[in-house]
Amino acid sequence: MRSRPFVLASASPARLRLLQQAGVDPHVIVSGVDEEAVAAGLGPRETAEVLALAKAEAVAQGQLPVAALVLGCDSVFEFEQVGLGKPRTPEEALARGVAMSGRSGTLWTGHTLIDSAAGVTVSEVVGTTVHFAEFSTAEMQAYVATGEPMQVAGGFTLDGLGAALVLGVDGDPGNVIGVSVPCVRRLVKQLGLEWYS
């Protein structure tokens, strides 16, 4: 796989960083997919799955390095059976955070990998349960004031300031950050390629 160009169909610096830490140095091409139009009426898990596919396909149809592998990802946080993307306002981020204090939810990340040379697409959705610490409204207001919650699905991070609000996770922590590297390895193998070669 390392001999093939790898394209990340996402502007997420966290996804890029996780892939680079795993030895993958992707080209970044942002898809420009209208997420609300594509995912209208879908549940949280399905939204992550459909948007990952839409992003990968949109980028795969454009100008790519020869024989590129294209990875599309999308994350949705499910809390009380409702899918939460990025908060639209600080007030929304605050309300979400206060509701999550001392509770748990599931972060779904859809992963789609396209082999542009073979015309083959493989996908997988990974869920990770996130357990939140108990925190005060004042703590959440201070966190929201940093601006960090406005940039991420669910309105919290595991790899930044929001980590102090998380007791732990059940599953892959990288998935919460934005990409499950073990999942990407499985998808690479499904394409008949080897992760380390």
CB 161 within 8 A of CB 152: no
Residue 3: predicted pLDDT: 85
How would you write the pLDDT of the chain (197 residues) with one tens digit per residue? Answer: 878 999 999 999 999 999 999 999 999 999 999 888 888 899 999 999 999 999 999 999 999 989 999 999 999 999 999 998 889 999 999 999 999 999 999 999 999 999 999 999 999 999 999 999 999 999 999 999 999 999 888 999 999 999 999 999 999 999 999 999 999 999 999 999 999 98
> Residue 197 burial by CB count (10 A; 0-12/13-18/19+): exposed, middle or buried?
exposed
Q: Tell me if residue 105 falls in helix, strand or coil.
A: strand
Q: Residue 92 in contact with residue 76, Cβ under 8 Å?
A: no
Model pLDDT, residue 74? 96
Residue 147: per-residue pLDDT: 95
Task: Identify the active-site residue in 34, 74, 159, 170.
Answer: 74
Q: What is this structure's pTM?
A: 0.94
CA angle centred on 75, ends 12 and 174, rounded to 5°: 70
Q: What is the pLDDT, as a whole number, of residue 59? A: 97
Residue 85 pLDDT? 85
Report the pLDDT value the prediction gives residue 38, as an integer from 0 to 100.
87
Dihedral angle computed from the Cα positions of residues 18, 21, 27 and 29, in that order, rounded to the nearest 10 degrees: 10
- Is 74 one of the annotated active-site residues of the chain? yes
Q: Are 112 and 72 in contact (CB under 8 A)?
A: yes
CB of 51 closer than 8 Å to CB of 111: no
* 3-class DSSP state of 180: coil
Give the pLDDT confidence score for residue 153 in this predicted structure: 85
What the chain holds in terms of domains, given with CATH numbers, is 6-190 (3.90.950.10)
